[in-house]
Amino acid sequence: MQSWTVPAPATVPAQSDRLRLMDTSTGELRHPGTEGAASLYVCGITPYDATHLGHANTYVSFDLLQRYWRACGYPVSYVQNVTDVDDPLLERAEATGVDWRELARDQTELFRTDMVALNVLAPDHYVGATETVDWVVETVSRLVQNGTAYTVPGQGEDPDGDVYFDIGAAQSATDWTLGSISGMSPEQMAEVFPERGGDPERPGKRSPLDPLLWRAARSGEPSWDGGPLGEGRPGWHIECSAIARRLLPVPFSVQGGGSDLKFPHHEFSAAHATAVDGQPLARTFVHAGMVALHGEKMSKSKGNLVLVSNLRREGADPAAIRTALLSHHYRSDWEWTEDSLPEASARLSGWRHALEREEPGDAQALVSALHGTLSDDLNAPAALVDLDRWAESTAARTGSPTAAHQELRVSAVVDALLGIRL
Ligand code: ZN
């Protein structure tokens, strides 16, 4: 699938890697295990109702991580998927009378446009589920062969041939245990599983939480030739597992996504990979917080969405949207209000004015200050305060700017580390 293009940020003097990130699976701040090279998988959108501020918050958060690594001089391998066939997409297409392929294509294009506007560096591989069915078939077939997947007999409206992951068998055969990635209790998992696409009531499953790997063809639904699995389509968690294992070195540095993906999505993507490979999928699991509107988490199902494209249409500066997002720590849950954008715009404007008073050495000092601040679990809000302080420090200056043309400039540093275009 076509990715998008964002100009490469300026190269800054190579910074030392002192990064500590909160790893969901251990609950501890730790170095993500990069040794001279970094690899990142961030779960992509299901392409409908893109791109709301919750999405934007996630992709801007992991864009910070990529920019941090680049400032350390690391090559970064970054993969993102698009879940361009799944129940919610098909339901929306059906409800609105639009072909699901057209809906997916249009919303994916809108997402790309929003990412370019928000200055989010593109993944090296941007991959659709519909492009990788063969990878899923191969992975699920191996799980069936090694006894960690099973076929559920048809019943009622469900045909023969749905394939599920066997949690119990996988726990016996591997080091993975249920909850070891998400850090959630059995009660928490049981509560959110049905809210996030799970089907605990499906008759014939060995455990209520066993997740779907392969959905046998139903009339009126798209399906693909699954070879030994029969006609059907991929489950959600196995999609990311198969794509990540194919395109990144396993275990890769960071598996990322919104905190609503901890369970079941990341728990089972990792479990599937471990059941195939006998080793962890990723070294570190990192999750971005949720954005709320009017007191409730912004979500498609609640319909309380603020879309990046609408803000842009209303004239918002994308750099101000990005500044508003980075004003909150990536792990925090926070609320978008009518003040969010004006406040961000005012700060941005202060920084832009300060550029007129930039002096030699400012950029050098800022690059090490910002990088040091970001080393502490990507503390962007504190980095923005660093920038405020710098802008304030220029206020007393008089005379014309003296920064030389060819040297590193503050605007290049802010773009390289924070992705904010001044
Ligand atoms: Zn995923």
For residues 283 and 323, state if they share a domain.
Answer: no
* Residue 301 pLDDT exceeds 80: no
Task: Establish if 250 belongs to a structural domain.
Answer: yes
Section 91-116 average pLDDT:
96
Residue 343 Cα to ligand 1 midpoint, Å, equals 33
Cα 409 to the center of its chain, rounded Å: 30
For residues 286 and 247, state if they share a domain.
Answer: yes
Q: How far apart are CA 46 and CA 378, in angstroms?
A: 26
Section 372-384 average pLDDT:
98
Binning pLDDT at 50, 70 and 90, where does residue 303 land? confident
For residues 391 and 329, state if they share a domain.
Answer: yes
Q: Please, where are the H alpha helices in 212-255? A: 236-247
Task: Establish if 244 belongs to a structural domain.
Answer: yes
Residue 85 Cα to ligand 1 midpoint, Å, equals 13
* Residue 223 pLDDT exceeds 80: yes
Residue 79 Cα to ligand 1 midpoint, Å, equals 10
Residue 395 Cα to ligand 1 midpoint, Å, equals 46
Residue 43 Cα to ligand 1 midpoint, Å, equals 4
Residue 128 Cα to ligand 1 midpoint, Å, equals 11
Short-list 223, 199, 195, CA closest to 90: 223
Residue 268 Cα to ligand 1 midpoint, Å, equals 10
The pLDDT score that the predictor gives to residue 298 is: 82
Containing 334, the helix (H) or strand (E) segment is: strand 334-336
Question: pLDDT tens digits, residue range 229-254?
Answer: 999 999 999 999 999 999 999 999 99
Where is average pLDDT lowest: 135-144, 155-164, 238-247? 155-164
Each as own residue / partner, the long-range contacts of residues 2-6 (CB below 8 Å, 24 or more positions apart, any chain) are 2/112, 2/126, 3/112, 3/122, 3/123, 3/124, 3/125, 3/126, 4/112, 4/113, 4/115, 4/116, 4/122, 4/126, 5/116, 5/122, 6/115, 6/116, 6/119, 6/120, 6/121, 6/122
Give the three-state DSSP class for 243: helix
Residue 45 Cα to ligand 1 midpoint, Å, equals 9
For residues 285 and 344, state if they share a domain.
Answer: no
Question: pLDDT tens digits, residue range 14-25?
Answer: 999 999 999 999
User: What CATH code is carried by the domain that includes residue 410?
Assistant: 1.20.120.640
Task: Establish if 277 belongs to a structural domain.
Answer: yes
Residue 3 Cα to ligand 1 midpoint, Å, equals 17
Residue 345 Cα to ligand 1 midpoint, Å, equals 33
Q: Where are the beta strands (DSSP E) in 117-182?
A: 125-128, 149-152, 162-165
Residue 409 Cα to ligand 1 midpoint, Å, equals 38
For residues 183 and 123, state if they share a domain.
Answer: yes
Task: Establish if 81 belongs to a structural domain.
Answer: yes
Containing 291, the helix (H) or strand (E) segment is: strand 291-293
For residues 52 and 173, state if they share a domain.
Answer: yes
Task: Establish if 1 belongs to a structural domain.
Answer: no
Residue 405 Cα to ligand 1 midpoint, Å, equals 44
Q: How far apart are CA 365 and CA 58, in angstroms?
A: 29
* Residue 404 pLDDT exceeds 70: no
Question: pLDDT tens digits, residue range 32-46?
Answer: 988 889 999 999 999
Containing 293, the helix (H) or strand (E) segment is: strand 291-293
Contact (CB, 8 A) for 318 and 119: yes
For residues 377 and 235, state if they share a domain.
Answer: no
Residue 42 Cα to ligand 1 midpoint, Å, equals 7
- Residues with Cβ within 8 Å of 172's Cβ and at least 6 positions away in sequence, in order, are none
Residue 381 Cα to ligand 1 midpoint, Å, equals 27
Residue by residue, DSSP assigns 12-81 as -PPPP---BEEETTTTEEE----SS-EEEEE----SSS--BHHHHHHHHHHHHHHHHHHHTT--EEEEEE
Section 154-170 average pLDDT:
95
Q: How far apart are CA 365 and CA 30, in angstroms?
A: 26
The pLDDT score that the predictor gives to residue 289 is: 97
Residue 141 Cα to ligand 1 midpoint, Å, equals 20
- Higher model confidence: residue 229 or residue 50? 229
Residue 198 Cα to ligand 1 midpoint, Å, equals 15
* Residue 347 pLDDT exceeds 70: yes
The pLDDT score that the predictor gives to residue 14 is: 95
Residue 178 Cα to ligand 1 midpoint, Å, equals 18
For residues 77 and 197, state if they share a domain.
Answer: yes
Contact (CB, 8 A) for 181 and 272: no
In this structure, the dihedral spanned by the alpha carbons of residues 95, 225, 165 and 160, taken in order and rounded to 10 degrees, is 80
Q: Please say which residue of 252, 276, 292 terminates a domain.
A: 292
Residue 138 lies in domain: 21-292
Task: Establish if 44 belongs to a structural domain.
Answer: yes
Q: Please say which residue of 292, 325, 340 terminates a domain.
A: 292
Residue 214 Cα to ligand 1 midpoint, Å, equals 16
Residue 182 Cα to ligand 1 midpoint, Å, equals 14
Count of domains observed in the chain: 2
Contact (CB, 8 A) for 244 and 28: no
Question: pLDDT tens digits, residue range 202-213?
Answer: 999 999 999 999
Hey, what are 230's tokens? 């029969």
Beta partners for 164? Answer: 150, 212
Give the three-state DSSP class for 282: strand
Task: Establish if 49 belongs to a structural domain.
Answer: yes
Task: Establish if 297 belongs to a structural domain.
Answer: no
For residues 166 and 286, state if they share a domain.
Answer: yes
Residue 237 Cα to ligand 1 midpoint, Å, equals 6
pLDDT, mean over the chain? 95
Contact (CB, 8 A) for 210 and 166: yes
Residue 44 Cα to ligand 1 midpoint, Å, equals 7
Residue 263 Cα to ligand 1 midpoint, Å, equals 11
* Residue 168 pLDDT exceeds 80: yes
* Residue 9 pLDDT exceeds 80: yes
For residues 162 and 222, state if they share a domain.
Answer: yes
User: What CATH code is carried by the domain that includes residue 184?
Assistant: 3.40.50.620
Percent of the chain at pLDDT exceeding 70: 98
Residue 254 Cα to ligand 1 midpoint, Å, equals 12
CA distances from 117 to 5, 94, 129, 369, 408 (A): 10, 30, 25, 26, 24
Percent of the chain at pLDDT exceeding 90: 92
The pLDDT score that the predictor gives to residue 405 is: 65
Residue 181 Cα to ligand 1 midpoint, Å, equals 14
The order of strands in the sheet holding 149-152 is: 149-152, 162-165, 212-216, 232-234
pTM score: 0.97
For residues 274 and 327, state if they share a domain.
Answer: no
For residues 117 and 206, state if they share a domain.
Answer: yes
Strand 252-258 versus strand 282-288 pairing type = parallel
